[in-house]
Structure 1
């Protein structure tokens, strides 16, 4: 990845070398684990989007069915 950054990013050499310092086991992960409340909010948001999409789909199907009934009558 760093070779890609250096070749295509046109950054000065060594700019990112101080950001990622690893050992023989790889890079340490010091990122904070998200709290359960934030993951619950993400799940609720996903569920809301799925319900919205499903309701739009149902409306489209109903409108098409009613349109077909009117046209065939």
Structure 2
């Protein structure tokens, strides 16, 4: 997904904001990116489905997949 041209600029930046060691909350990432929580959740879900990110049990915290 990172090398595909259909990955949006926002999704690419959001992926770069994720840490591979520390969990980041959905609200924190949405605020950091200055996008709605719904849009942020959609992008993060797509990253998880693509295998690029992981979410915790609650679905509220995310990090890069190692």
TM-score tier by shorter-chain length is: under 0.3
Q: Output the TM-score relative to the length of structure 2.
A: 0.27
In terms of fraction of residues, the more strand-rich structure is 2
Higher relative contact order (CA 8 A, sep 6+): 2
